[in-house]
Structure 1
Amino acid sequence: MQLRVGVVLVISALSLAGCGRFALNNHSLDYKKAEALEPLKFPEDATVRPFTPLYPAPTVDPLAIEHAPTFENKSGKRYALPRPEAVQTQASNVEDTVATLGRPQLVMDGNRNPLLKVEGPTAAAWQYTFATLNSLNYKVISQSNNGYEATIQVDNQSYLLKLSAVGSSNTVALFKLDTTFAEQAIATEVLTQIYQNWPA
């Protein structure tokens, strides 16, 4: 009795596995054999509303079809997406961050507003900017939790120090609280001190 149950279980397991793995053809590639059909034709004496297809088939360049990915399994009989490539993650340490983070540069925009430009990862650029700011004699009133900006006090007046990023290029600027640029002399003084005290 146990032998019969064992044989039935083994055959059942093999047949279920065969349905998924060992099946010769599950018709998932039949779409490649599809042929273009002629547009729908109505009898000449029929009165119908104008007919426009909801999903017209695009015309595809034969060269694009020839070079399109196949998405087939190894035997070429089933549809199969390629497996994703393994992501290689490396532990990043402070030295790697310093190596990828460039030295800041004092620049001017088109309206002669002073800016501090830093190449590299945005989070690291802000971390260095904020650390340098804390080492100076400016009082930090608050720091934003969801952005790269901090409110500081310069000569008993509040300003907003903000880092903006475009790609790997970061720009630090000093603004008034109404988001207009700070006076040129004050902005130059603050950004120059950050530039001069930037960690080596």
Structure 2
Amino acid sequence: MQLRFGLILALSALSLAGCSTFSKISLDNGSLDYKNTSTQEKLKYPEGAMVRPATPLYPAPVVDPLAIENAPSYVNKKGNRFDLPRPKVALEASNPIEDTASTSVGRPQLLKDGNGNPLIKIDGNAETIWQYTAATLSSLNINVVSKANQQATLKIDGETFVLKLNSAGASNTLAVFDAKNNFADKEKAAELLTQIYQNWPA
């Protein structure tokens, strides 16, 4: 009994393995039969028969023989099965969503730090934020004495102020300092930052 069961099990395993192997390699599954089709004549009705005019729903297109000759051939190596080629590996392109995210800038927010010093908080790419800041200063016709390393020295009503962009990850703050690198007068800093906030280009 055990021998018979073992024999049946072995034959079943071999047949399954054989079927899958043959189906992949050598057997013709008829997938190329479309190449041997022939044009059939239209259906003929008996003379005198009352027949409605029949219009084919899906008429066969007329294909130029030259197009058929130059059509790609999707067959396996043995030429007996339809075989679609593997897709080519596409080159890795930069993700436009990631590129957009890396240069995106949030809306500015007027805030105060723990000591009551006014700040503008802006989330996003620091370089883009500084470009927006420079454009805003230009639109306000503020006298910019110098610009370097994401800070600008300004001359307003005879006083010197330094506008600095400080970054901490994706969070950035604009703050106003005096010539001695201390926080500027709160009222004057708030006035300048409010103008920048109101004229922010984005």
TM-score scaled to structure 2, two decimals?
Answer: 0.51
Q: CA RMSD in A?
A: 2.4
- CA–CA distance in structure 2, aligned partners of residues 124 and 99 of structure 1: 6
Larger radius of gyration: 2
Which residue in the other structure is 1:121 paired with? 125
Secondary structure of 1:140's match?
Answer: strand
Which residue in the other structure is 1:162 paired with? 164
TM-fit CA distance, 1:196: 0.1
Secondary structure of 1:101's match?
Answer: coil
- CA–CA distance in structure 1, aligned partners of residues 101 and 95 of structure 2: 12
- CA–CA distance in structure 2, aligned partners of residues 186 and 159 of structure 1: 10
1:97–1:124 contact (8 Å) kept in structure 2: no
- CA–CA distance in structure 2, aligned partners of residues 99 and 121 of structure 1: 5
C-alpha offsets along residues 45-87 of structure 1, whole Å, 9 cap, x if unaligned?
xxxxxxxxxxxxxxxxxxxxxxxxxxxxxxxxxxxxxxxxx86
Q: Mapping of 1:59-74 within 5 angstroms?
A: none
Which residue in the other structure is 2:36 paired with? none
Which residue in the other structure is 1:139 paired with? 143
TM-fit CA distance, 1:91: 6.2
Q: Identify the match of residue 89 of structure 1 among 88, 94, 98.
A: 94
**Inter-CA distance 195–97: structure 2 relative to 1 (3 Å threshold):** farther
- CA–CA distance in structure 1, aligned partners of residues 166 and 103 of structure 2: 21
TM-fit CA distance, 1:177: 1.4
Q: What letter is aligned with 1:191?
A: L
Q: What letter is aligned with 2:155?
A: Q
Q: What letter is aligned with 1:109?
A: D
Secondary structure of 1:152's match?
Answer: strand
Which residue in the other structure is 2:176 paired with? 174
2:144–2:152 contact (8 Å) kept in structure 1: yes
Secondary structure of 1:142's match?
Answer: strand
**Inter-CA distance 101–176: structure 2 relative to 1 (3 Å threshold):** same
TM-fit CA distance, 1:155: 1.2
Q: Structure 1: give runs of 5+ residues left out of the alignment.
A: 1-85
2:103–2:124 contact (8 Å) kept in structure 1: no
Q: Structure 2: give runs of 5+ residues left out of the alignment.
A: 1-90
Secondary structure of 1:198's match?
Answer: coil
Task: Work out the percentage of aligned pairs sharing the same amino acid.
Answer: 46
TM-score scaled to structure 1, two decimals?
Answer: 0.51
Q: Mapping of 1:27-46 within 5 angstroms?
A: none
Runs of 4+ in 1 over 4 A off after TM superposition: none
C-alpha offsets along residues 83-131 of structure 1, whole Å, 9 cap, x if unaligned?
xxx8642469x9x479821010000000000000000001011110111
Which residue in the other structure is 1:184 paired with? 186
TM-fit CA distance, 1:134: 1.0
- CA–CA distance in structure 2, aligned partners of residues 169 and 181 of structure 1: 20
Secondary structure of 1:131's match?
Answer: helix
Q: Identify the match of residue 150 of structure 1 among 145, 149, 152.
A: 152
